């Protein structure tokens, strides 16, 4: 069915020519068309233009007059956010740890006592697949209402053969039940199970020799992740796992440099990771390595916010010419939120990103960071008509400025209103 949106206050992020990443000083530019219309055909974007020519153009585009016409009433239209880093398959919230942190414990102290990721793994092991599916589906519905139109989801709360595969099967089922692209990432190396404390190598072997072949056999993952950080997995262990993942065609997308200068960025770039994510600890050396590497630096400021870490040096990175992607990291321990507009607000307020840089990071670059850059991330003819209409607002800066309000009025995926 054809779909027309008219009376758009600002049409944002439209590109005649396909664009797949945006870096450095270019991140400050974002196409904006005031008083616009947008035409979608067969679930894809087709064309757009100024309202002054709307009636004449519509006669040509829709001669039979059958298109569904929606009045944006002065709201902005943006392509849906791409959330390239989440852990939304989990069994239970971790509110007690949140309270423990308020009272002074650190994230690492909680983890070393068997809390944190291991706590989530214990709960997940006893939760049926159907329940995990229902809970994750509810999270996706909430994320869609925040304007998200593509989601990457990691395993990593299984940490055993059966439970990791159970998580990945839940993700596979989510893929087939939602209108939006979902990518699955195998994160068996999220934390070391306590039983392997004295024998790290045998857990790595379980990942590489048993889990990965079974996952590949069932086609359960698109990417391979490792939490390469202080207290979790070392760069050498990470290399072993990433090499094994590549053997099954799984490109790395890794957790790096959240808790320290872990060497994770170096390992990620060396192994041609699609993205390296977190990066609170990023210095000159890491920035130089990331330059022109093809690996997307992905920042997760709601994690820094929730754990009261210092934020990643986004300003330095962009000023050095790097691209940046933004994602929510939605998970029960360090970022229990799938709210992309809030992530954008944090990136502006705490990391000094301009609103146009933040929107580029949450659309074009985050589409690249999850491998959907050919279909999502911009309003471009032939790409998926996944977008949202905001309430009438003054400018794109309204999104981070109104950080506590939901400005998103109507949401469309593949040309259909949700």
Contact footprint for Fe ion (CB under 5 A): 329
What is the CA 133 to chain-centroid distance, rounded?
19
Q: Which residues pair with 412 in a beta bridge?
A: 387, 417
Could you tell me if 4 and 57 are in contact, meaning their C-beta atoms sit under 8 angstroms apart? no
Using CB under 6 A as the binding rule, the residues of this chain from 135 to 164 that contact ligand NIG are none
Our CB check for ligand NIG shows the closer of 304 and 364 to be 304
Candidates 14, 37, 146, 227; binder of ligand NIG (CB under 6 A) is 227
**Residue 208 interacting partner from ligand NIG, Fe ion, none (CB closer than 5 to 8 Å by kind):** none
> Taking CB under 6 A as the rule, does residue 233 contact ligand NIG?
no
CB of 87 to Fe ion, least distance (A): 6
Q: Which residues pair with 75 in a beta bridge?
A: 392
Site string for ligand NIG, 261-300 (x = CB under 6 A): ----------------------------------------
**Residues ≥6 apart with Cβ < 8 Å to 358:** 326, 344, 347, 348, 400
CB of 99 to ligand NIG, least distance (A): 15
Other CB atoms closer than 10 Å to residue 71's CB: what's the count? 12
Our CB check for ligand NIG shows the closer of 108 and 142 to be 108
Could you tell me if 227 and 189 are in contact, meaning their C-beta atoms sit under 8 angstroms apart? yes
d(CA 223, CA 153): 10
Binding range to ligand NIG, per CB under 6 A, among 113-121, 131-139, 339-347, 372-380: 113-121
CB of 187 to Fe ion, least distance (A): 8
d(CA 347, CA 161): 37
DSSP letter at 233?
A: B
Candidates 101, 166, 183, 255; binder of ligand NIG (CB under 6 A) is 255
DSSP letter at 91?
A: S
**Residue 332 interacting partner from Fe ion, ligand NIG, none (CB closer than 5 to 8 Å by kind):** ligand NIG
Our CB check for ligand NIG shows the closer of 173 and 230 to be 230
Could you tell me if 2 and 67 are in contact, meaning their C-beta atoms sit under 8 angstroms apart? yes
**Residue 306 interacting partner from Fe ion, ligand NIG, none (CB closer than 5 to 8 Å by kind):** none
Tokens read off for 342? 């809030």
> Taking CB under 6 A as the rule, does residue 332 contact ligand NIG?
yes
Closest to 329 (Cα-Cα) out of 307, 310, 352? 307
CB of 357 to Fe ion, least distance (A): 22
Q: Which residue is nearest to Fe ion (CB)?
A: 329
Closest to 308 (Cα-Cα) out of 120, 135, 132, 102? 102
Tokens read off for 393? 């607002």
Alpha helices in 87-160 (DSSP H): 95-102, 107-112, 117-125, 129-145
Q: ∠ CA 47-63-51 to the nearest 5 degrees?
A: 45
**Residue 227 interacting partner from Fe ion, ligand NIG, none (CB closer than 5 to 8 Å by kind):** ligand NIG
Candidates 13, 257, 266, 303; binder of ligand NIG (CB under 6 A) is 303
> Taking CB under 6 A as the rule, does residue 333 contact ligand NIG?
yes
Binding range to ligand NIG, per CB under 6 A, among 13-21, 329-337, 348-356, 394-402: 329-337
Length of the chain: 418
Residues found near ligand NIG in the complex (CB under 6 A)? 87, 116-117, 120, 227, 255, 258, 303, 329, 331-334
């Amino acid at each position: 069915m054809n779909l027309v949106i008219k009376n758009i206050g600002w049409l944002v992020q439209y590109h005649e020519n396909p664009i797949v990443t945006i870096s450095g000083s270019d991140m400050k530019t974002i196409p904006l068309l005031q008083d616009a219309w947008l035409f979608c055909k067969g679930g894809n974007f087709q064309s757009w233009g100024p309202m002054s020519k709307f009636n004449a153009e519509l006669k040509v585009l829709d001669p039979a007059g059958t298109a569904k016409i929606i009045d944006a009433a002065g709201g902005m239209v943006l392509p849906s956010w791409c959330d390239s880093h989440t852990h939304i398959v989990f069994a239970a919230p971790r509110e007690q740890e949140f309270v423990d942190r308020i009272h002074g414990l650190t994230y690492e102290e909680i983890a070393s006592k068997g809390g944190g990721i291991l706590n989530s793994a214990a709960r997940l092991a006893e939760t049926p697949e159907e329940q995990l599916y229902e809970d994750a589906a509810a999270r996706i519905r909430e994320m869609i209402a925040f304007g998200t139109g593509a989601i990457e989801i990691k395993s990593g709360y299984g940490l055993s053969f059966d439970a990791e595969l159970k998580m990945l099967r839940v993700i596979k089922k989510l893929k087939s039940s939602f209108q939006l692209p979902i990518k699955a990432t195998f994160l068996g190396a999220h934390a070391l199970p306590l039983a392997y404390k004295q024998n790290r190598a045998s857990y790595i072997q379980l990942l590489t020799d048993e889990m990965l072949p079974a996952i590949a056999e069932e086609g359960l993952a698109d990417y391979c992740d490792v939490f390469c950080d202080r207290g979790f997995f070392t760069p050498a262990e990470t290399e072993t796992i990433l090499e094994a993942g590549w053997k099954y065609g799984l490109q790395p997308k890794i957790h790096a440099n959240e808790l320290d200068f872990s060497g994770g960025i170096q390992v990620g770039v060396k192994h041609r990771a699609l993205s390296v994510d977190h990066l609170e600890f990023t210095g000159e050396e890491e920035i130089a390595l990331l330059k022109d590497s093809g690996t997307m630096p992905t920042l997760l400021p709601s994690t820094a916010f929730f754990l009261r870490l210092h934020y990643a040096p986004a300003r330095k990175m962009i000023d050095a010419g790097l691209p940046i992607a933004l994602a929510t990291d939605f998970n029960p321990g360090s970022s229990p939120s799938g709210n992309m507009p809030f992530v954008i607000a944090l990136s502006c307020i705490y990391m000094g990103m301009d609103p146009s840089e933040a929107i580029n990071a949450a659309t074009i670059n985050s589409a690249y960071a999850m491998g959907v850059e050919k279909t999502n991330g911009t309003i471009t003819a032939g790409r998926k008509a996944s977008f949202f209409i905001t309430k009438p607002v003054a400018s794109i800066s309204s999104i981070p400025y109104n950080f506590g309000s939901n400005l998103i009025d109507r949401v469309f995926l593949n040309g259909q209103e949700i």
